[in-house]
């Protein structure tokens, strides 16, 4: 498996136990539950199915709850209606009334939308795949002409470029969903349409004692990009959600924004996720396009910690094959000379103190010594493993911790494989216990030479680094 992690969105295509097991074996590191779709009962069932598969295969799989956020969406369809096909040139109505779904008429969940639209405004649906032109607004009905058609299903996003709408920072539905996620036991919560740091601070306050849950800020529009420094500062991780971003902002700017946000996250020592339409054609095709392969490859070369699959694994025909394809691309790029040049580029080093920079560099340089097979990191808080990951060493990082919550946090970080070990009184006197556990998982073999480190602290400075034969 590659060092760049793979996040997979779960859904109808990936809810069966045997499929989930195949997804884990193929390289899935984190499962995403999208709370814009599905019922609480469905999410609960899927959560426990993932946990069961993870335990069976003895691989730690993180679970991410993705809150729908203050995003305008198409309303729910009747059970007998799966999708609506929009044709260019035809009339189509968005209504803020509670009315029945018809071939040319759907509801939207933002009941004030009609107040902010006028003739010639453009509306994009489903990450920009469908485009509408407003012709007139009559009462609560927004009458449009279809410019770019396509298939439309329920709960798809609605974007109006250039409009600043008075949407809430956190909706009541988000609060309800978050409370459910905390009870369920999710490891990460993704906050959609994070526009400023106050969005994240409010989520932190709502989490309260559940501060072991990592908060992922989703950057999706110009306001989020402009406030990125403050958002990075208060978040545990950043997701570059390119679907809505490519509609809200000029499409040609998105690759540049992606590179800049990755650079900022790397320097801040925060994991960064690249998401949306990475292998989109594999929703219906068993092979990706060459352009999609390039996109995945460049995201790896940019230095992303994680890549995320959306519809490809939630509703696509080939969820397992898509993961295998992404894993193959990741491994190919990570083993290339160009990628190794990226790893040693100092512009991406985290802006830490000189002590920690020196230590991170030392472990990185040590990892390049011939004959060494892995870095085994013994950590209580996860900080040691995080520091090492941020310097992108060439060797695999195996983090051993007694804290399951810490282990789950570490899955987000580049290159870290996690194991939960037994609690011992004196770590240094009991290296053998952890080494045997690592060998049992076949992460190293008998006779391999490895770096063992742990307990990196700056105040007072403390660090243990050993090279041992296992």
Write down the catalytic residue from 3, 218, 242, 266.
Answer: 218
Distance between CA 327 and CA 183 in Å, rounded?
32
How far, in Å, are 61, 114, 188, 400 from residue 405 at the CA level? 12, 45, 11, 12
Q: Which stretches of 141-268 are DSSP H helices?
A: 172-184, 197-207, 222-226, 228-234, 242-248, 254-268
* Residue 342 · residue 259 · CB < 8 Å: no
Write down the catalytic residue from 32, 195, 242, 373.
Answer: 32
Residue 452, CB-side half-sphere exposure with 13 Å CA sphere: 20
- Beta-sheet pairing, 237-241 with 105-107: unpaired
CB within 8 Å of 418: residues ≥ 6 apart: 60, 398, 399, 400, 401, 407, 408, 410, 411
Say whether 6 sits in a helix, a strand or coil.
strand
β-sheet with 157-159: strand ranges across:
72-73, 157-159, 122-125, 130-138, 141-148, 91-95, 105-107
122 is catalytic: no
Distance between CA 84 and CA 105 in Å, rounded?
9
* Residue 455 · residue 384 · CB < 8 Å: yes
CB within 8 Å of 268: residues ≥ 6 apart: 232, 233, 350, 351
322 is catalytic: no
* Residue 57 · residue 25 · CB < 8 Å: yes
- How big is the chain, counted in residues? 470
Write down the catalytic residue from 3, 22, 71, 73.
Answer: 73
Longest distance between any two alpha carbons in the chain, whole Å: 77
Distance between CA 344 and CA 303 in Å, rounded?
11
Q: Which residue has the tokens 């660090």?
A: 463
How far, in Å, are 184, 197, 216, 234, 434 from residue 204 at the CA level? 17, 11, 11, 9, 34
Write down the catalytic residue from 276, 379, 401, 453.
Answer: 276
Among 249, 151, 157, 265, which Cα is nearest to 217's?
265
CB within 8 Å of 253: residues ≥ 6 apart: none
Helix axes 17-26, 40-57, angle to 10 degrees: 50
- Beta-sheet pairing, 62-67 with 30-34: parallel
290 is catalytic: no
436 is catalytic: no
The set of catalytic residues is: 32, 73, 218, 276
């Amino acid at each position: 498996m590659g060092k760049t992690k793979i996040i997979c969105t779960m859904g109808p295509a990936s809810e069966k136990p045997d499929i989930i097991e195949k997804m884990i074996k193929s390289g899935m590191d984190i499962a995403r539950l999208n709370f814009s779709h599905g019922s609480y009962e469905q999410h609960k069932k899927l959560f426990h199915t993932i946990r069961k598969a993870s335990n069976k295969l003895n691989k730690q799989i993180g679970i991410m709850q993705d809150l729908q956020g203050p995003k305008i969406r198409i309303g729910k369809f009747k059970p007998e209606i799966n999708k609506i096909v929009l044709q260019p040139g035809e009339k189509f109505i968005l209504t803020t009334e509670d009315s029945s779904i018809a071939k040319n008429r759907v509801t939207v969940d933002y009941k004030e939308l009609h107040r902010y639209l006028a003739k010639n405004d453009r509306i994009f649906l489903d990450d920009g795949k469908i485009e509408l032109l407003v012709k007139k607004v009559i009462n609560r009905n927004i009458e449009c002409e279809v410019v770019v058609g396509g298939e439309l299903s329920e709960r798809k996003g609605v974007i109006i470029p250039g409009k600043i709408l008075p949407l809430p920072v956190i909706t009541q539905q988000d609060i309800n969903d978050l409370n459910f996620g905390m009870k369920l036991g999710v490891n990460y919560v993704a906050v959609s349409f994070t526009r400023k740091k106050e969005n994240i601070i409010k989520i932190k306050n709502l989490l309260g004692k559940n501060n072991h849950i990592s908060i992922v800020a989703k950057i999706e529009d110009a306001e989020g990009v402009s406030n990125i420094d403050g958002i990075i500062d208060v978040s545990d991780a950043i997701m570059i959600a390119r679907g809505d971003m490519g509609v809200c902002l000029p499409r040609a700017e998105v690759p540049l924004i992606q590179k800049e946000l990755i650079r900022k996250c790397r320097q801040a020592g925060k994991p960064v996720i690249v998401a949306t339409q990475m292998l989109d054609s594999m929703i219906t095709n068993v092979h990706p396009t060459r352009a999609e392969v390039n996109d995945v490859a460049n995201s790896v070369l940019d230095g992303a910690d994680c890549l995320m699959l959306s519809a490809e694994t939630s509703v696509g025909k080939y969820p397992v094959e898509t993961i295998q394809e992404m894993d193959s691309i990741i491994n190919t790029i990570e083993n290339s000379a160009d990628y190794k040049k990226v790893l040693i580029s100092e512009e991406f080093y985290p802006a830490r103190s000189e002590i920690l920079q020196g230590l991170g560099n030392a472990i990185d340089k040590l990892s390049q010594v011939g004959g060494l097979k892995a870095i085994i990191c013994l950590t209580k808080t996860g900080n040691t493993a995080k520091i090492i990951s941020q310097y992108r060493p060439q060797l695999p990082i195996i983090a051993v911790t007694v804290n399951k919550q810490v282990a789950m946090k570490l899955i987000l970080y580049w290159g870290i494989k996690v194991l939960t070990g037994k609690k011992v009184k004196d770590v240094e006197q009991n290296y053998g216990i952890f080494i045997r556990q690592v060998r049992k998982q076949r992460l190293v073999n008998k006779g391999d030479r490895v770096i063992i480190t742990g307990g990196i602290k700056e105040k007072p400075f403390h660090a243990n680094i050993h090279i041992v034969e296992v």
